Amino acid sequence: MAILDPSPANIMVAADAILAGELVCIPTETVYGIAADATNAEAVEKIFSAKNRPADNPLIVHVSDFIQLDDIVAEWTEAADLLANRFWPGPLTLVLRKSEFIPDSVTGGLDTVAIRMPDHAVALELIEACGVPLAAPSANRFMRLSPTRAEMVAPEIAERVACILDGGPCRVGLESTVVDVTSNNVKILRPGGVSRGEIQAALGRPLGDAPPDGPRRSPGNYDRHYAPRAAVRVVDEVPEAAVGLIFGEPTSSRQIRMPMDPEAFASTLYAAMHLLDSQKVEEILVQSPPDEGPWEAVWDRLRRAGGER
Ligand code: TXA
Ligand code: MG
């Protein structure tokens, strides 16, 4: 496996691999994905084994064009139309009724499919070159941190892919917001790159969460997820000698200063935890960010990173 520049020639190499049923790691604006031809059930199976991911945890299908939706979606809704027009390409995933065209392995047997149009030129060019939508979960092993740099892709993943396209550091730095738009009762299934406030403003009304213990509407939402090897704990103050992410001036090389802005914080969070993790630390303390709406996705990831093992 090689890390390749995303030159037009290398994008063609990657497209050939995808169309031959192989896997490719791709950059997106959120995190790196591990991609396969979404219409090829055998290729999709390879994603689950590379990630060690349970088969009932559905994948996101990535498109480069609205026209591709005709094949994938059985029922397009008004809410989907509003949100896709407002936020695509971008870090928003829409859950809709699926067509027959998408194999059951992609959706973990659900009758819905999660779709997004990524805001990254390399991802869009690759999807276009393939001429098929790409199924791509984050390119991490099950439950671990998602990579936000090509070099962060774990060796166990790297050895299973034809190549890694290097699109540089991911701008958003955590995963897309997953929204159920199968009906007018729009629900956020996973907070992410587009905030609740932005979605509510686009819809012109407030919206609720999916009931966490209701029917398993979003099977990938585990208490522990997006986690480094080290334990993660959110605290009011990180002591001077401790390893951690802080807002103030670092007092050792094992402290990383984080920006006091939710988008800037999100954009470096996984890379910062990855850096400390690679120093084989036992615990990472994170200075508590404000408990305010725009920090919702960051809080979600911090809770899961420190979730029960
Ligand atoms: O930013 C992202 O979304 C990244 C990049 C690569 O696009 N992808 C990503 O995929 O985070 P993944 O597989 O790690 O997370 C997708 C989550 C699943 O765990 C599940 O919770 C939800 O999306 N999901 C997928 N299909 C669904 C469906 N049909 N119904 C409800 N939730 C679904
Ligand atoms: Mg993931």
Mean pLDDT by 10 residues, the chain (309 residues): 94 98 98 98 97 94 97 97 98 97 95 98 98 97 92 95 98 97 94 97 86 54 78 95 96 95 98 94 96 95 83
pLDDT of residue 143: 83
Model pTM above 0.75: yes
Whether the CB of 30 sits within 6 Å of ligand 1: yes
What integer pLDDT is reported at residue 159 of this predicted model? Answer: 97
Query: How far, in Å, is the centroid of ligand 1 from the Cα of 18?
Result: 20
Asked if residue 57 has its Cβ within 6 Å of ligand 1, the reply is: yes
Q: Alpha carbon of 160 to those of 23, 78, 93, 135, 155: distances in Å?
A: 7, 40, 26, 16, 9
Which pLDDT score is estimated for 216?
A: 45
- Amino acid at residue number 38: A
Q: How is residue 296 written in tokens?
A: 């919702």
Whether the CB of 58 sits within 6 Å of ligand 1: yes
Q: Which residues surround ligand 2, an ion (CB under 5 A)?
A: 138
Per-residue pLDDT tens over the stretch 73-109: 999 999 999 999 999 999 999 999 999 999 999 999 9
State if residue 255 touches ligand 1 by the CB under 6 angstroms criterion: no
Amino acid identity of residue 292, one-letter, is E
With b meaning 16 or more CB within 10 Å and e meaning fewer, what string describes 239-267?
Answer: eeebbbbbeeeeeeeebbebeeebbebbb
CA neighbor of 133 nearest in space, from 52, 216, 36:
36
Q: Reduce the secondary structure of 8-49 to three states and give it as a string.
A: HHHHHHHHHHHHCCCCEEECCCCCCEEEEECCCHHHHHHHHH
- The pLDDT, as a whole number, for residue 215 is 43
pLDDT at 179: 97
Say how far apart CA 39 and CA 137 lie, in whole Å.
15
Q: How far is the CA of 137 from the centre of ligand 1 (A)?
A: 6
What pLDDT is recorded for position 219?
63
